[in-house]
């Protein structure tokens, strides 16, 4: 068995099916999308090569793309702020010996397994202007003048989607942080507490540095997931009102399949891919630099 596993051709034979599937699912669709982005094509008539014409039009003439780009950045930043601190705080609470912690873990994680479309429809009922939960509570508190059509308000629609997405996925990041916290030796934390460190100092000086790889993973997943958000936005607002909640993934879908400009939609998709790749590489680079600096600091300490 050991001799067989050392044979490179045997290893390749076992790896090849998974590698072939990966090529057809990830790199090939990306390359084909980039290829089609250089053409003007409506899926029916022959393709016409336009070079960088689609990208030039995106940047110089498409005001919806500019709005969607800005909304995507705001959306990604807002989801980070709403999801990750809450997830980290709950992970620290539920990592201790607390009665019912398993119940709360399961409860907070439950929305993750529900489809984004279903979550979007649920929150659409919550925001409903007539019988929605928010307006019902507002009227019960004796302030009916504050009740309104929340998703019809251009200044709130994007934030309304942001809240629904953050509510769905904060439990996912909580589980990531829990996995990191459970790898920490309890003796380290107990020793710090004996030396007089309070809860905040333990978290900032012990837990955060030790779970930093998990934090980076969470940051990457949250950023890339928020940048390519689609189903929740479509179910809640469809990008309205007046494109105030339109994001890049929805703009790509609308241009490619509603307006039948497939090449133009692929140009939006290519920019979306570059954004995701850039965020991932940037966070990975920052993580590697900080790790290198910390190691240099350890070696540079005087003996």
pLDDT in tens, 24-39: 888 888 899 999 999 9
Which region among 43-57, 190-204, 248-262 has the lowest average model confidence (pLDDT)? 190-204
Helix axes 262-300, 212-227, angle to 10 degrees: 170
Q: CA 4 → CA 13, 19, 163, 175, distances in Å?
A: 11, 20, 53, 38
Non-local (6+) Cβ contacts of 18 within 8 A are: none
Q: Over 90: is that where the pLDDT of 287 sits?
A: no
Percent of the chain with pLDDT over 90: 59
* DSSP letters for 199-266: HHHHIIIIIHHHTHHHHHHHHHHHHHHHHT--HHHHHHTTT-STTTT--HHHHHHIIIIIS--HHHHH
Cβ(170)–Cβ(78) under 8 Å? no
Mean pLDDT of the chain: 88
Are 281 and 41 a contacting pair, CB within 8 Å? no
Residue-wise pLDDT for 228-237, tens only, equals 899 999 999 9
The residues, any chain, with a CB within 8 Å of residue 203's CB and separated by 6 or more, are 92
CA 128: distance to chain centroid?
26
Residues 152 and 71: beta-carbon distance below 8 Å: no
CA-closest candidate to residue 164, choices 102, 236, 74, 100: 236
Residue 292 has pLDDT above 70, yes or no: no
Higher pLDDT pick, 185 / 176? 176
pLDDT tens-digit readout, 125-175: 999 988 899 999 999 999 888 899 999 999 999 999 999 999 999 999 999
d(CA 270, CA 264): 10
Query: Which whole number is the average pLDDT over 206-235?
Result: 90
If one counts every other C-beta atom within 10 angstroms of the C-beta of residue 232, the result is 23
Higher pLDDT, 79 or 96: 79
| DSSP at 95 | T
Q: Which of 274, 260, 177 is nearest to 227 (CA)?
A: 274
pLDDT for residue 301 is more than 70: no
Q: In the structure, what pLDDT confidence band is assigned to residue 290 with cuts at 50, 70 and 90?
A: low
Which pLDDT value is given to residue 303?
A: 43
The tens digit of pLDDT for each residue in 48-61 reads 999 999 999 999 99
- Does pLDDT of 120 surpass 50? yes
- Residues 62-86: what's their mean pLDDT? 94
- The pLDDT, as a whole number, for residue 180 is 92
Report helix, strand and coil shares of the chain as percent, to nearest 5: 75, 0, 25
- The per-residue pLDDT for 252 is 95
Do 160 and 236 form a contact (C-beta atoms < 8 A)?
yes
């Amino acid at each position: 068995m050991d001799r067989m596993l050392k044979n490179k051709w045997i290893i390749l034979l076992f790896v090849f099916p998974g590698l072939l599937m990966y090529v057809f699912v990830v790199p090939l669709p990306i390359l084909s999308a980039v290829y089609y982005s250089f053409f003007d094509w409506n899926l029916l008539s022959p393709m016409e090569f336009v070079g960088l014409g689609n990208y030039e039009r995106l940047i110089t003439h498409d005001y919806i793309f500019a709005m969607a780009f800005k909304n995507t950045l705001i959306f990604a930043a807002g989801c980070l702020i709403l999801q990750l601190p809450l997830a980290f705080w709950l992970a620290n609470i539920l990592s201790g010996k607390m009665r019912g912690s398993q119940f709360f873990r399961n409860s907070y994680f439950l929305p993750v397994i529900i489809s984004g479309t279903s979550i979007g429809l649920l929150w659409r009922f919550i925001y409903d202007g007539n019988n929605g939960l928010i307006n019902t509570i507002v009227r019960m508190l004796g302030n009916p003048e504050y009740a309104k059509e929340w998703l019809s308000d251009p200044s709130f629609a994007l934030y309304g989607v942001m809240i629904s997405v953050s509510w769905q996925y904060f439990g996912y990041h909580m589980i990531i942080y829990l996995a990191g916290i459970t790898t920490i030796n309890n003796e380290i934390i107990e020793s710090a507490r004996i030396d007089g460190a309070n809860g905040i100092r333990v978290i900032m000086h012990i837990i955060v540095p030790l779970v930093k790889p998990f934090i980076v993973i969470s940051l990457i997943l949250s950023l890339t997931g928020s940048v390519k958000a689609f189903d929740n936005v479509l179910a809640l607002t469809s990008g309205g009102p007046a494109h105030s909640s339109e994001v890049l993934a929805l703009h790509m879908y609308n241009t490619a399949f509603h307006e039948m400009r497939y090449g133009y939609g692929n140009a939006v998709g290519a920019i979306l891919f570059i954004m995701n790749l850039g965020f991932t590489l940037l966070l990975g680079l920052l993580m590697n630099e900080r790790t290198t600096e910390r190691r240099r600091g350890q070696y540079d300490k005087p003996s």
